Every structure is written in C-alpha cells, then in structure tokens.
Amino acid sequence: MVRKFFTETYPIGEGDLVLGKTCTTRRVHSVETLRRELGLGRRQTVELLGANGFLKPEGQVGSSAKGVVLDAQALAPLVKNFAGAICQVAAQKKINAPRAQFGALVAGGIIRPIAGSPVGRPYYDEGQLDAFLASVVPRTTVANADGLVGIQSVCRKAVAGAVDVVRLIQSGELKTVVRDAEQDGYMSVLLDPAEVAEALRLIRPDGYLRSILAGFFGINASAVRYLVDTGHLKLDRARHPVSRKSVQVVPYSSVDRFLERFIPGKHYAEFLGGSTRKVGDQLIKERVPFIQMPEECGGRIFRRSEVTSGVEELANRLPLSHDEIAWPEL
C-alpha cells in the first residue's frame, strides 16, 4: 500500500527503485519530468500544458506550476506528439528556408505545425520536415546552373507564391529541378523560371472573376458587388493564370452555396427556353420572392425554393463545370 501511494503520488519514472522494487510504469508526471521527456524548456512545457488544458491559464507561467503532478496516461498523447518537437526557428534552419518562404509554406498547408501547439509558439515534427525535403529536393546536382535560380528568386521572376511553385515540384510537372551542390535543403533547389511561369499559366484559380460571374448569372457588375457586400457571395485573393497579377475571385464553393438557395432569372429562362426579361417579369407578377437590390443593379435573383421547377433546374444544370465557365480560354 505504501509503495502504491508513492508511485501514484510522486513523479517516479519507469526503472526507479521504490522501497526496494523497480517501478515498471510511470503513473504521474511533474513539470520537470515531463520537460525532460519532451526535450523542452520549463517555460515551454508549462505553455504547452496550458494550451492543451492540463493547467489553468493562471498556472502557465511563474512558479504556480511547482508541485503539480499530472496523470501520465492522460499525458501520453501529448508526449507522443511533442517528444523531440522543434520550434519554428529550428524548423526553418532544418529545411534551410528564409522566414518569409517558411511562413508562406505554413500558411498554404505545405508544412503544418503539430496540433495543440501553444498560440504564437508553433512546434514542428522533424519527420514531417524530412518528408517535405524529400519531396522537393532532387538528388541530381548540376555543375553549370546558368539560367537556373532558387525557389525564392523564381517566385519573384514568375510572380508566383512559394506554395504554387512547391506544388509544381511535388506533382512532377517541372522537367528542370536540380540541386545546387553548394547549398542545403530548400535553398539548394534550382529551377528554370521560364518553365515555372509557363506551368503556372495552366493553374486556374478555383473561382470566378466578378465580370465572368456577372455574365454567368445574367446580372451586372453592380449586382455582383451588392451580393458580395451583403454576404451572399464571398471574395478570395488569387493569381491571374496569365498576367500573374493579384485578382479577386468568387470561390466555386461560394457559387455552389448561392445557387443552392437562389436561381438567377437567366438560368430559369434558359431552363424554360424563354426570354430572360419575360420570365423574370412573370415571376415578379406571381410574387415569387427575390433579392431586393438597388436600382443600379441589373438582373434578378429569385429564391429557388419558391420557383416552380427551381430544384429541377439546378439538378439539370449539375454538375457545374466551373473551370469551363470561369476560364474558357484555358
């Protein structure tokens, strides 16, 4: 009984002697024993415990965590995920990527912090970073690198984001991907900027330019602007596939959600084989609910559930070939 009390009350580890017998399983952790197992500093360990609900907010800093013991079994998933984890600065050094490029890769989901990292202090799994390097760094070196530049320079020359360039490498869409023998990791990758620029022309944003969407819906630019301003549609930033300039697009997913609820008068007229104006006027006459828009907004948008055969019209139109509608020239 006394031995059980000691092992369940004090942070005794596997292999420690308790009353002449070897402890076979750790039952509780202190901050110090957990810190050593994770390979982190005390402050970082306390922050990690706070971020994952093991310590109250007021116990995250200072000496308030002294004397606290925690259930080792409950902490097991945390230990599994964070043992040997490295901070962001160390992660950048490991893959040898500039800070801005590393940040872009994280924002684009190419590299992901370990789930449960404290806010403002992300940790990374070295295995994931090794897998990332293996996916982008080629084994082939080159003696003459004339015309070839690193990923950071390619981004400037091709007016591209690091995420787009890395995805081209990972998907095998680039023929010229070689390694600079004098560099390591991310900085060692050499590409042909002209080839990258040409490959990026084939990448369509997953969204509509507002002018194209206006034509698809049979409304004018003011109406599209109103639908965005009132929250019916959303806007995202993307790169134009040809000019590579930053443009605003309405995501395909936003268009899909909108069309589930509403039906443009143009679409219903196409379904019935009639005139857009006449069909719209008839729906107004029948007092079918529609989106009330300012006078400068051209075109009408009706509530689909209130339109006869409105659901059938959408079923007849699906699946929507968004790419063919939004980017026909590509």
171-212 per-position pLDDT tens digit: 999 999 999 988 999 999 999 999 998 888 777 889 999 999
Distance (Å, whole) CA 297 – CA 324:
26
Contact 116, 83 (CB under 8 A): no
Nearest to 315 by CA among 259, 274, 264, 250: 259
Task: Between 22 and 282, name the one with better pLDDT.
Answer: 282
What is the residue extent of each domain of the chain? 2-82, 85-203, 207-326
- Nearest Cα residue to 266 out of 298, 292, 231: 298
Please determine, for residue 75, whether its predicted confidence score (pLDDT) is greater than 90: no
Residue 9 pLDDT class (50, 70, 90 cuts)? low
pLDDT for 60 equals 43
Q: Mean pLDDT across the chain, nearest whole number?
A: 87
pLDDT at 328: 87
Give the pLDDT of residue 5: 54
pLDDT at 232 over 70: yes
CA atoms of 76 and 78, how far apart (whole Å): 5
* Residue bearing the bigger pLDDT, 40 or 286: 286
**Would residue 299 be called left, alpha or beta, if left means φ above 0 and alpha means ψ between -120 and 50 degrees?**
left
pLDDT over threshold 90, residue 21: no
Instruction: State the average pLDDT over residues 5-33.
Output: 65
pTM of the model: 0.62
Is the pLDDT assigned to residue 22 strictly greater than 80? no
pLDDT of residue 4: 58
